[in-house]
Structure 1
């Protein structure tokens, strides 16, 4: 669910005549079987949206949207969705900064299930800025958003929100269906949405075992079975969680190119290519080579971590030929490799 989809779904429940909920809201998360530590943050910045862990009832990526607005020497902090149950204790002060590149580095966020504390300094010269943070547990987030939206829609709820198992005799009242897969992979690839990638990876279990509970081992097995059926043998492949946010995931550049080549032979190749960011236009490569002749002539997915700089995708050459480009760097100075990657793209596009 995005927050908009959740609102519409609850509005549908109201339209069907549901107004008063006297019992508890039971959250049944059994569809995902997650290993211990799966909710561990990738790095020390635990509240960042990219550190959100997968969840069978993931709502709005479990994030709050914070907007900072300097007004008359003071700083307003606006939270979306607006949740009355969460107290925002804004102790931020404005400060001077020469650059806005890392405007939120000096903002300290501490959170409990009832209170969000903001401390530190905000560069007033940067004007209005915003970011997404994950500061609540999955259960608490669903509870807070549900109570706020349900009340807004005129419904009443006197129970509790808790995790549990739905009884087999429970009556199905309404169903929500996700966006089509083509739209999901577009959102994942265009915006490097790691938690969506992890969610999608877990659902691969159903490809091999339709009735099975989704798990990383089962999804990994389904992926390897699919590769085998395609005649692809990648012995070095390591699948830790299905996203780029991993210290363990492995594939060689040659095999990534081979995988992309197999994509071009699929009847769904156009959907996959269109899901990749367009060079100089959108997604993670929106600001790269904007004034270059190569701009808009490549669909590329990038990956950046400490010591890692990667790029893979398709480049449309001036000759009309489409080339597959894969460029992986694993080195302490990997961040310096962007110029070399850009040079390769321009060279291939100009051929």
Structure 2
């Protein structure tokens, strides 16, 4: 019988937020204008932007921006070092998600398939159960539970064989999750996988029990062979750095221990962490979920390939691409962006360049690799924009990179193109709305904000980078494409300059 009840519908937004990225340095170069004729003062920074840069100790030479009306006959409002190649941080996700909308279509779905090489009789599968990952970016607990329940409804309750996990749709090098910034346990550093289960994360929940003097610890998903301390003593200290107070120990793949105390003043808190042994995450979590849903297994849970003659038992379809890119862009989800980027690499760059039919674009023809994704996106960019804008330098498609580069004028070109694309509305609606949701929910909070509810934006932040790009509806009735970047060691402190840029755009008078 089904017994595991997930709390993921409560914790998933927290986990999505935890999957957003961090930081790194980059230089800048001089720029030129693009697009329509500039207005007379298009090169002068708005006073609010200049003041915010000065307060943060950031020189204007580290700032790049372009504000252009979607009406191509109207004047450019601002062009400042607009052809300078910059590190865009997570704003690069706009290239990945728009290429996906154009090449795959908003209704595209991924499939996780369940096969068997045995016979099912009286609730027993005499053989192996194979789970073949198809790159689903959001294969979360509830959807896995639903698939397992479907299998059990078909009579597969006991597996007299192995549970074999097939990751072969993606061909990826071994990845050190801490290589980027030394933060291996941060969920935003989760690596992509053809069988990406629940973002390779363990969600810990702490609930104080003052009568017992402890905080009770629960976790999801259930992980085979992972022991987690069920309680941690309470302290009377202020909440503050409650995670540090726990003195959590993640050095053993088979356990999570707490050597400190949990501040009772914190109330209930949730802590998503990347599992310390990501290579075994899928095996441990799928075995734990199978058993928690009432299933049994006599063999091992291991990686392997699906044999050609295996029989398909169930196909679990993902959410459509339009839903996936909303998580990618509103919450800046790094691993989901990389899943989408890798999926593009399964297409033929020749077909991308020469074929226009949807059927040709949807046909995956090769195993996904990052280099193949870069090849496909380069071909798509050439077909879409020709030589008008400098092609972006792509790495993993998520912006969690030291080497990715793009110019503000290239991003504005993309935004303008998307605004008139027959299926571009799903791309626009995937962006965070200033003062309302996603990564810009805390922007435009002032009583007199003109941008609140009128700006659809993608943000980006690394250690030495901050950026913003999207659309702004202005008071004068015009709609603008807005792009701004700061590449400087003090970039995070200068984020108010980008917010000032958005407010200035939204407040454009009649």
- Could you state the TM-score of these two structures normalised by the residue count of structure 1? 0.93
- The 3 A distance-change label for structure 1 pair 311 and 95 is farther
Q: Deviations over 1:106-150 (max 9, x none)?
A: 443414332112344544332221121112434532233223322
The number of residues matched between the two structures is 349
What's the counterpart of residue 427 of structure 2? Answer: 272
Alignment of 1:132-281 (within 5 A): 132-208=272-348, 210-233=364-387, 234-235=389-390, 237-281=392-436
Aligned 8 A contact 2:175 2:191 in 1:
no
- The 3 A distance-change label for structure 1 pair 106 and 307 is farther
Select 1:22's aligned residue among 160, 168, 182. 160
- The 3 A distance-change label for structure 1 pair 43 and 124 is farther
Q: Which structure ranks higher in relative contact order (CA pairs < 8 Å, sequence separation ≥ 6)?
A: 2
Q: Distance in 2 between matches of 1:104 and 1:257?
A: 41
- The 3 A distance-change label for structure 1 pair 119 and 45 is farther
Q: Distance in 2 between matches of 1:44 and 1:127?
A: 30
Q: Does 1:124 align with 2:281?
A: no
Structure 2: 5+ residue stretches without partners: 1-138, 350-363
What's the counterpart of residue 63 of structure 1? Answer: 201
User: What SS class does the counterpart of residue 64 from structure 1 fall into?
Assistant: strand
Q: Distance in 2 between matches of 1:175 and 1:70?
A: 41
- Could you state the TM-score of these two structures normalised by the residue count of structure 2? 0.65
Aligned 8 A contact 1:25 1:159 in 2:
yes
User: What SS class does the counterpart of residue 186 from structure 1 fall into?
Assistant: helix
User: What SS class does the counterpart of residue 432 from structure 2 fall into?
Assistant: coil
- The 3 A distance-change label for structure 1 pair 111 and 93 is farther
- The 3 A distance-change label for structure 1 pair 63 and 211 is same
- The 3 A distance-change label for structure 1 pair 232 and 261 is farther
Higher deviation after alignment, 194-203 or 81-90: 81-90
Q: Distance in 2 between matches of 1:155 and 1:37?
A: 32
Select 1:75's aligned residue among 194, 209, 215. 215
Q: Does 1:5 align with 2:143?
A: yes
- The 3 A distance-change label for structure 1 pair 43 and 204 is same
Structure 1: 5+ residue stretches without partners: none
Higher deviation after alignment, 195-204 or 248-257: 248-257
Q: Deviations over 1:2-36 (max 9, x none)?
A: 10000001111111111110111111211111134
Q: Does 1:305 align with 2:462?
A: yes
Q: Does 1:342 align with 2:499?
A: yes
Q: Distance in 2 between matches of 1:28 and 1:175?
A: 14
Higher deviation after alignment, 315-324 or 201-210: 201-210
* Larger gyration radius, structure 1 or structure 2: 2
Give the CA deviation at 1:81: 2.3
Alignment of 1:37-116 (within 5 A): 37=175, 39-72=177-210, 73-83=213-223, 85-89=225-229, 94=235, 96-97=237-238, 100=240, 103-107=242-246, 108-116=248-256
Q: Distance in 2 between matches of 1:172 and 1:84?
A: 26
Give the CA deviation at 1:103: 4.2
Higher deviation after alignment, 136-145 or 172-181: 136-145
